[in-house]
């Protein structure tokens, strides 16, 4: 009797194990009444095609988590021991997975759940294509979550790059166009061949190429910043690191610049940003390029002379008026200067009339010397 089997559920690992395993015939087995009605005898062959079909379909219906079940089938079927030298079974399984995706999309958009019973049939197809007598090694599906995190990270990198782009460049771009058409050639453009010498020794063409590179990286909101690797070495990496978006992990890397070249480019970018901000602050307006190397047409406003190029002029020194000295009660205190005292006494010599006074102390010192005549000592 099938009493109490209405709400029975199996775990995901049990479902995957039955999908990728061929059942074996057991002798002393409890026979379900439904098997007797369907097959007409008590000796039910569990290894027959019809019995396997019905068993896997019921297991898939009772699972209740179709999305997780399909993800586990997709990530584990290539690790199973099956014979498919012409890869026809893999192509058929891929077609069924696409069919299930189309059905789920249709159900989500139209809310027509009459197509839902067709989804579990993909488990029957996988069972007949990839099931074997050996016990499969089944892993819980994690690729979907990893790919979702990578997609989110790449999307955030592109969005952060586009957030601070120059408006003249940003108005022509969106996220798909930036990823597929702009970033792949741009990674080769921003890595030119630079000589490892001082920029003063560059030719006019090399200086123009460097200036053009700086304008492009500023227009696309890109620069280099220094970071420390796990081995303790310092290196300059591009910020934002859009190289991860346009390059697969197994692909060959683009031509990499040297440490000195990246440091030079980062310094020139910072200087150019400072020049532009200073020109804008001084009333020069937007004198920046669009990043494509074309200068803005039309008359440009006059740019004020920056501070580091202006001449310094001495300020006129104005005498500071003397404030009268007052006591605690607010009365003005008259202070007699030494000059006024000296005027009352008769001037005997010119030494006492000066502002510098010397007081004699016993001892000998060569620290202070002054030429004194004998007549001054009388």
Q: Break the chain into its structural domains and give their ranges.
A: 12-141, 167-281
pLDDT tens readout for residues 39-93 = 555 455 667 888 888 888 888 888 878 888 899 889 888 888 888 888 888 999 9
Task: Specify the pLDDT at position 226.
Answer: 85
β-strand partners of 236: 226
Q: Helix (H, G, I), strand (E, B), or coil: what is residue 262?
A: helix
Mean pLDDT, rounded, for 129-155 = 86
φ, ψ at 235 (rounded to 5°): -150, 155
Assigned token pair, 181: 């058409």
pLDDT bin (cut points 50, 70, 90) of residue 289 is very low
Q: Are 266 and 225 in contact (CB under 8 A)?
A: yes
Is it the case that residue 363 has pLDDT exceeding 80? no
To which residue do tokens 């205190």 refer?
A: 333
Q: Of 128-142, 145-159, 174-188, 313-327, which gets the smallest average pLDDT? A: 313-327
Is it the case that residue 106 has pLDDT exceeding 90? yes
φ, ψ at 246 (rounded to 5°): -100, -5
pLDDT tens readout for residues 161-218 = 888 888 888 888 888 888 888 888 888 888 888 888 888 888 888 888 888 989 988 8
One CATH from 1.10.1740, 3.90.1580, 1.20.272, 2.70.98 for 12-141: 1.20.272
Closest listed residue to residue 180, CA positions, set 216, 154, 146 = 154
Q: Are 376 and 349 in contact (CB under 8 A)?
A: yes
Task: Specify the pLDDT at position 94.
Answer: 92
Q: What percent of the chain has pLDDT over 70?
A: 76
Closest listed residue to residue 226, CA positions, set 213, 210, 239 = 239
Task: Specify the pLDDT at position 110.
Answer: 92
φ, ψ at 90 (rounded to 5°): -65, -40
pTM score of the predicted model: 0.52
Closest listed residue to residue 126, CA positions, set 164, 69, 180, 179 = 69
| Cβ neighbours around 77 below 10 Å, total | 21
With residue 110 as reference, give the H or E element that holds it.
helix 88-110
pLDDT tens readout for residues 213-267 = 899 888 888 888 888 877 888 888 888 888 888 877 777 776 778 888 888 888 8
CA distance 192 to 265: 11
Q: Are 222 and 239 in contact (CB under 8 A)?
A: yes
CA distance 302 to 130: 76
8-state DSSP, 225: E
CA distance 109 to 259: 52
β-strand partners of 238: 224
Q: Helix (H, G, I), strand (E, B), or coil: what is residue 242?
A: coil
The rounded Cα 184 to chain-centroid distance in angstroms is: 17
pLDDT bin (cut points 50, 70, 90) of residue 299 is very low
Q: Are 35 and 44 in contact (CB under 8 A)?
A: yes
Select the highest-mean-pLDDT range: 7-11, 123-127, 227-231: 123-127
Assigned token pair, 207: 């200086």
β-strand partners of 176: none
CA distance 297 to 308: 28
With a CB cutoff of 8 Å and minimum separation 6, the contacts of 121 are 57, 60, 96
Beta strands of the chain (E only): which ranges? Answer: 223-228, 234-239
| Cβ neighbours around 88 below 10 Å, total | 10
Q: Of 126-135, 178-187, 335-344, which gets the smallest average pLDDT? A: 335-344
């Amino acid at each position: 009797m099938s009493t109490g089997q209405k709400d029975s559920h199996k775990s995901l690992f049990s479902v995957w194990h039955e999908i990728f395993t061929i059942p074996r015939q057991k002798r002393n087995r409890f026979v379900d009444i439904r098997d007797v009605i369907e097959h007409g005898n008590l000796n039910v062959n569990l290894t027959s095609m019809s019995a396997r079909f019905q068993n896997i379909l019921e297991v898939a219906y009772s699972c209740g988590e179709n999305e997780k079940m399909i993800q586990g089938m997709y990530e584990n079927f290539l690790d199973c021991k099956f014979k498919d030298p012409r890869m026809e079974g893999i192509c058929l399984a891929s077609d069924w997975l696409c069919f299930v995706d189309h059905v789920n999309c249709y159900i989500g958009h139209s809310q027509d759940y009459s197509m839902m019973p067709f989804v579990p049939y993909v488990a029957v197809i996988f069972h007949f294509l990839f099931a074997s007598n050996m016990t499969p090694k089944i892993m819980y599906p994690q690729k979907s979550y990893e790919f979702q995190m990578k997609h989110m990270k790449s999307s955030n990198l592109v969005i952060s790059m586009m957030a601070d782009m120059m408006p003249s460049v940003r108005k022509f771009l969106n996220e798909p166009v930036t990823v597929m058409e702009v970033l792949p050639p741009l990674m080769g453009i921003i890595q030119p061949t630079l000589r490892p010498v001082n920029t003063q020794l560059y030719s006019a063409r090399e200086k123009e190429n460097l200036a053009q590179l700086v304008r492009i990286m500023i227009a696309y909101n890109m620069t280099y910043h220094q970071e420390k690797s796990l081995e303790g070495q310092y290196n300059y990496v591009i910020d934002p690191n859009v190289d991860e978006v346009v390059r697969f992990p197994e692909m060959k890397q683009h031509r990499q610049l040297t440490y000195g070249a990246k440091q030079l480019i980062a310094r020139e970018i910072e200087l150019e940003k400072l020049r532009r901000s200073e020109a804008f602050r001084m009333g020069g307006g937007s004198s920046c390029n669009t990043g494509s190397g074309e200068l803005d047409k039309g008359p440009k406003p006059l740019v004020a002379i920056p501070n580091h190029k202006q001449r310094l002029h001495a300020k006129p020194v104005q005498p500071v008026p003397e404030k009268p000295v007052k006591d605690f009660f607010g009365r003005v205190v008259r202070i007699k200067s030494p000059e006024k005292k000296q005027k009352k006494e008769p001037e005997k010599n010119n030494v006492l009339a000066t502002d510098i006074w010397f007081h004699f102390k016993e001892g000998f010192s060569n620290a202070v010397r002054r030429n004194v005549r004998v007549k001054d000592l009388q």
